[in-house]
Structure 1
């Protein structure tokens, strides 16, 4: 994690993502957190339903995430009303492996229409930090689905 902080705070990285040379990455910014607290009470289900109806969506979470447990997130998605909600509620969860020859499965994947949901094994709240290779392959697979 320390290498990540060092990398994202390098001037070359900041220039590449256009944050300005004075931008500084922080894992926890308390003033930002407190300014967003009122948003926690707002239900964004209509926006999520619209997104699921009109866009391709990849949602992934860590199996060991204690902040947003996978079971809670799955219950939330099951509660939504969108075009393919009944298909989602009945869709099979299949083993996911990132590439041919992978020594074992790395998670579970559910795909319905344009919605793909993946639970990454052994990953916590920062799934892409805990399992960077798997997250990379997952995103690449989603972005280039015909490869």
Structure 2
């Protein structure tokens, strides 16, 4: 990536983790026995993950979303078209985003590919006007209801930036922890606090 060969970097990542483009199992699968890098606790994708594609193929759904006879094909074509962009850093955009918008960065505690520690290290490395405030901010415990025994996650806030770690969730927070995911977004949108 330092040389600017983003396509080569993507193909290396694909061979290590994803395995979509290589035609053989990625390194991650070979060393873990798992094909699911969305949640460290799962060895394979849940069977209900196919429901979405099946739903999109229903005649009534196709009519309602105005797609005609176009077949739903997942994201393989899109992935192929953006291979050269996937590994490009968006870090330079963050100071502008944080100067103009509220930003929520959340991670599932069990996410393999974009783990909470990676997100936190990224946020700590950003140069922006609120950096010192962010670095000084303490993570706070977040519960959906104050009397809950279960902790939903941990939140750190500094100015326009909110960082959250959702307990019990992998990469797909709305699937793994729908109540926690909804509460997180609802609090962030409405400004109710954590």
TM-score (norm 2): 0.64
Corresponding residue for 2:102?
56
Corresponding residue for 2:162?
116
Contact 1:65 1:125 in 2 (8 A): yes
SS in 1 for 2:92: helix
Separation of aligned partners in 1, 2:100 and 2:62: 33
Which residues in structure 2 correspond to 1:131-142 (within 5 Å)? Answer: 131-142=177-188
Contact 1:62 1:127 in 2 (8 A): yes
Q: Which has the higher contact order (CA 8 A, sep 6+)?
A: 1
Q: CA deviation at 1:146?
A: 4.2
Corresponding residue for 1:101?
147
1:67 has 2:113 as partner? yes
Corresponding residue for 1:130?
176
Separation of aligned partners in 2, 1:25 and 1:56: 34
Contact 2:53 2:72 in 1 (8 A): no
Q: CA deviation at 1:13?
A: 9.6
Contact 2:139 2:156 in 1 (8 A): yes
Q: Are residues 24 and 77 of structure 1, via their aligned partners in 2, closer, same or farther at CA, if it must alter by over 3 Å? A: farther
Please list the CA deviations of residues 66-98 of structure 1 after superposition, one character each: whole Å capped at 9, or x if unmatched.
010110111011111111011112210110112
Q: Are residues 51 and 104 of structure 1, via their aligned partners in 2, closer, same or farther at CA, if it must alter by over 3 Å? A: same
Q: Aligned Cα RMSD in Å? A: 2.6
Gaps of 5+ in 2: 1-45
Please list the CA deviations of residues 24-80 of structure 1 after superposition, one character each: whole Å capped at 9, or x if unmatched.
666x52221121111134221121221112111112110000010110111011111
1:5 has 2:52 as partner? yes
Q: Are residues 32 and 6 of structure 1, via their aligned partners in 2, closer, same or farther at CA, if it must alter by over 3 Å? A: closer
